[in-house]
Amino acid sequence: MTDKKVKILETALELFATQGYNAVATNKLAKQAGVSEGLIFKHFTNKKGLLDALLNDAERRMGQLFGPVLMETDPAKVIKMTIELPFSIPQSEYNFWRLQFKLKWQGEYYKPDKMKPVLEKLTAAFQALEYDFPQYEAEVLNYIIDSVSVGILRDGLEKHFHQKDFLIKKYKL
């Protein structure tokens, strides 16, 4: 992986995340990355290929983020950690997650399965805690952390920090 290839990826992530995939011309991307336009296509064949390269990390990063939750055995802790998830995203990965959410709404790229393991883990946790409708509880909590994540990525961490403690209290954890 050469320096220039890295620079292309970094710049693409930043621009795609802030302006949207379609709104970014390879033209401008190349200029901002300090690279010739041709090089993008040498390395990634397509503009789509560049996006894919960016998204390939998704698996890994999601694993990194969700892994600890999935490994946890104490059901209360599973729920608590899930609530804490959006607040534990490293600032350095904000653009990556912004891109994820942008694409989710741009259609084509939405993959609901991505969250399935977490959803199942949550269901099991709510079941262990003897909630009446563990699956529905899991769905709703998933909705909440989804919206909280969106808010944090949009407004910054501070404006949403109170929600962490509130949710933890609300779920009596």
> Contacting DNA (CB under 7 A), which of 2, 73, 91, 92?
2
| 139 makes contact with its own copies (CB under 8 A) | yes
Contact set for DNA, span 11-50 (CB under 7 A): 22, 24-28, 35-43, 45-48
Q: Name the binder of 35 from its own copies, DNA, none, CB < 5-8 A by kind.
A: DNA
Scan residues 81-110 and list those touching its own copies (CB under 8 A): 101-102, 105-107, 110
Minimum distance of DNA from residue 55's CB (angstroms): 15
Q: What is the DSSP string of 17-55?
A: HHH-TTT--HHHHHHHHTS-HHHHHHHHSSHHHHHHHHH
* 28 near its own copies, judged by CB under 8 A: no
For 129, phi and psi rounded to 5 degrees?
A: -85, 10
Distance (Å, whole) CA 63 – CA 94: 16
Site for DNA, rule CB under 7 A: 2-5, 22, 24-28, 35-43, 45-48
